[in-house]
Structures are given as C-alpha cells and as structure tokens.
Chains A and B, each alone.
Chain A
Amino acid sequence: MNLANFSKRNLPIRILKAGIKAILIYIAYLVFTLLIQQVYEFIGEYSPLIDVFFAAIAIFAFLTEFFSGTIFKYMLEFSRNLFIIFYCIIALNGGIIDASVQNATIILNLQFFLLMIVLINLIGITRTVLSAINFLYEKSEEKIID
C-alpha cells in the first residue's frame, strides 16, 4: 500500500530530511536540558523519563518524515499522539506529582496541564484521522483519473 512512492531515487533525500528533523529534536532536547540545569537536582529522578520522551519523539519525527506521502505517515502520527497522551498520564502520575526530600513532601497538582496536553493531542488525532481519510480519497481519485 503506497510503497510504490518509495522509489530508490528519492530514498536518500527522505533519509536526509528525516535525519535533519530528528537532529532538530535532539537540539531541542539539548536546549531543554540546558534550561532546566538549575532545577535539575529537583527533577533528577525524572531525567530518564525526559530522555525517553525526547528519544521517542525523535524516532517518531524520523519515521514520519521518512514515510511521508504514504499512509504510514498518518499511522505514525496517530501513534505519536497516543504515545504522548499515555506517556504524559504515566509520567505526571495522573497529574499529581508527589516528591519527598528528607522530611519535606511536596504535592503538585498538574491536572490542568495534563488536561491541556490530552486535549491538544486528541485534536491532533482527529486531524490525523481526517488527513488519512483525505489522503486515501485523493489517492483513489488519482487512480480513477489514471
């Protein structure tokens, strides 16, 4: 399905584009770690979660670009949005962050942000599904015209 678009001729360009996107994500990760350096000791235990998140987003960015012009792109975008939703729910512990340092405990309620992230990604999922339908429709139209 649509794998015909994967001609050997434009494969290096796809890889190059996908690679650049992934590198941009990596640069964003580096900037982010620089920005949070001051508060790094407080979120030290969350650093693996941040690393995994950026790694996953970079992989999704690479694959989405690599498969652009095929239906797989939309499947990957759909998966990425679902991944972000579930990842944020798990990483933010359902919106309630509970951290303890020695004899001090801090409880942060970030449910508003979780709600916002879920909402934005649900809109993203809707858009992806509609885009996929639109893509298939245009492809079928092209076949009819051909």
Chain B
Amino acid sequence: MRYALRALKWATIILWLFLFSLVVTLVYSVLNIRIEVGDPQLIMENERIVWAMPAVIGNAGFYGIYNLNITTLVADTDGGVLLKNSTLVPLVQKGELYPLWHNVSLNLREIPDYQVYLLHDTNFTVKYSVSLNFARIIPCTLSLSSIMPWGAPLYNLSISDPTFQPINATHCMMFLNVSFENHSPYIDLNGTLNIEVLNENGEIIGIGEEIINVPSHQIYDETLNILVNTSKATYSGTIKLTFETSMFSYETEVPYEFG
C-alpha cells in the first residue's frame, strides 16, 4: 500500500509540475508573439477591387502557431453573405518571422442582385475572424465586426424626358439629360454609356456612345445628343441606356413619346 501511495504522490507532483511549467511557457510564448499589421492597400484589378492587408507575425515563443486562418466576410443588411475570403497559414514555427498578405477581393458581378448596390447606398457588415491552434493544445478564435458604408456609384441616377429638335426631313436630334452621383469611395467610373433609341417595334432608330469618366465622390450631369432617324420613328418607344465599365455593366430603359 505504501509503495502505491508513494507512486501516486509522485505522479501527482510530476503532473502538477508539468501543468505549471506548461502554463508558464505558454503564457511566456503568447506574450512574445508580435503581430504587425501594415496599411491596407486598395488595388483595382480588371474586374475586381482588392483590399490587400499586409501583416508580419513574429513568433518568438516556445511553441508553433498552427492552422492560422484569417477570414473576412462581407454581409448585407439582411445578413446575406456577399463575399468571403480566407487566408490560411498552416504553420508559423517558433522563432519564425512570417510575412503574409490577406486579400479581400470584390467582384461586383459575383454579388447576387449587385445592381441594387449600384443605385442605393447601404451599410455592409464586415466580419473578421482569426482562428488558430496554439501549440496544438489551445484552439482559439478572435472575431471582430464593423460596419462598412457602401456608396453607390450610380446614386440618384436620373434620366430626363427627351426633347427633340428636327434637323431635316429624315432626322432629328434628341437631347437627353443623364445625371448621377458617384458615392463610391473605391470606384472611379471609367467606361462608356451606350444609348439606343428604339421605336415601338423594337427597331433601333438612333444610337449614341458617350465616354464617362467620373471619379469617386463626383457628380455626372450631362445632356447627350443622339441623332434619330425619324423615317422609322413611331409615336412612342424606349431609350435603352447601358453603362459599361470594367467593374460592372448596368442597363436601364426609359419610355419616350414624340412631342
């Protein structure tokens, strides 16, 4: 009995010492982890807006950092997920200085019903989540959420009723005022505005193209001139406007009547 008791006593002591030393070294290691986050950069790629966040993780502790996963999720006001980007670092070894880039890429065309966000300002919820397994024994997750105001690039888009001025027996000039405000802090609108004037039968009777260049937070207010073939014109019809930029395309139609 005495030997058994002595063995149990020593087992308890050794386990307590092991636990204590583990806690001390873990706390020391956590205190010696340095995370430096650089200034995020905004990169406009072909059809994408990319927020690139540089960071350096310095692990000067005794244990490795496993499965470091940084996730950014953007959701609309109803909680619907618009985009989700993750960066996975399998291992940051002890004594290692690990540089990483966490990129959040937004392609408007990939967002469901993205045309709503071209016309209306809203607030998106941005959720950041960092999960890791420290020393393979302490999984932890840090979550942050913030509000990102979204500015519509075609905010308050208004198209006036067209006016017509005869030129000759077969043609007239149509004047159409188009205005909007580019509320987006990220998108500079560079592209074209294509206008098609259609008669009641859907035949094109006038066509025009306007190059638009509206930087962020600027107003666009232009009167467009389109030559219309009156020989095929009907009493009423539709005007089709198509905004084509590298980031998105947006199409709208307005009815018209010859005065």
Contact = CB atoms under 8 A, between A and B. Distances in A.
Nearest to B24: A35
A144 interface: no
B98 interface: no
Interface of B: 1-2, 4-5, 8-9, 11-12, 15-16, 19, 23, 137-146
Nearest to B8: A127
Interface string A104-129: 11111110110011011001101100
Contacts of B137: 112
A113 B19 contact: yes
A56 interface: no
A107 B129 CA distance: 11
A120 B8 contact: no
Nearest to A116: B19
29 contacts: A103-B146, A105-B141, A105-B142, A105-B143, A105-B144, A106-B140, A106-B141, A107-B140, A107-B143, A108-B138, A108-B140, A109-B138, A109-B139, A112-B137, A113-B23, A119-B15, A120-B15, A123-B11, A123-B12, A124-B12, A126-B8, A127-B8, A127-B12, A130-B1, A130-B5, A130-B8, A131-B5, A133-B1, A134-B1
Interface residues of A, number: 23
A110 to B, nearest CB: 7
A116 B17 CA distance: 11
The A contact surface, by secondary structure, is: helix
A123 B7 CA distance: 10
A116 B141 contact: no
Contact of A134 (B2, B141, B142, B146): B2
A106 B140 CA distance: 7
Contact of A104 (B5, B15, B142): B142
Nearest to B13: A120
Contacts of A137: 1
Contact of B145 (A103, A107, A116, A133): A103
Given A107-B141, A119-B15, 6 more contacts: A109-B140, A110-B138, A124-B12, A127-B5, A130-B4, A134-B5
